[in-house]
Amino acid sequence: MLGAVKAGDILEVIWVSLIAGVLVTVAFSFVVLGMARSADAARGGRGSAALAYAGLALLAFATFAAAVGFGVHIMLSKS
């Protein structure tokens, strides 16, 4: 049996998933960027820049992990 779904609900799912997808992708991209730049800076002897890029990567990973964790929590709490 098919249930009726309101168009507003479908549009909400679409825009929330687009925002979440972009946020998670950008956050993980900054993880990769920060780690790569940190390694390059460390090899080049620029310790303060390496530390700053590592901090960026850590902050981006925390954002990524929080977004994924929140998404899993939302999926498991809906009934």
In a domain, 2, yes or no: no
**What is the domain extent for residue 72?**
8-77
C-alpha 27/C-alpha 20 separation (Å) is: 10
Write down the pLDDT at residue 17.
Answer: 92
Tally the domains of the chain. Answer: 1
Write down the pLDDT at residue 40.
Answer: 97
pTM of the predicted protein model: 0.81
In a domain, 34, yes or no: yes
| Contact assessment for residue 57 and residue 30, using Cβ atoms and an 8 Å cutoff | yes
Write down the pLDDT at residue 33.
Answer: 97
DSSP string for the chain:
-PPP--HHHHHHHHHHHHHHHHHHHHHHHHHHHHHHHHHHHHHTT-HHHHHHHHHHHHHHHHHHHHHHHHHHHHHHH--
Write down the pLDDT at residue 7.
Answer: 81
Tens-digit pLDDT profile for the chain (79 aa)? 566 778 888 898 899 999 999 999 999 999 999 999 999 999 999 999 999 999 999 999 999 999 999 999 988 997 6
In a domain, 18, yes or no: yes
In a domain, 52, yes or no: yes
In a domain, 21, yes or no: yes
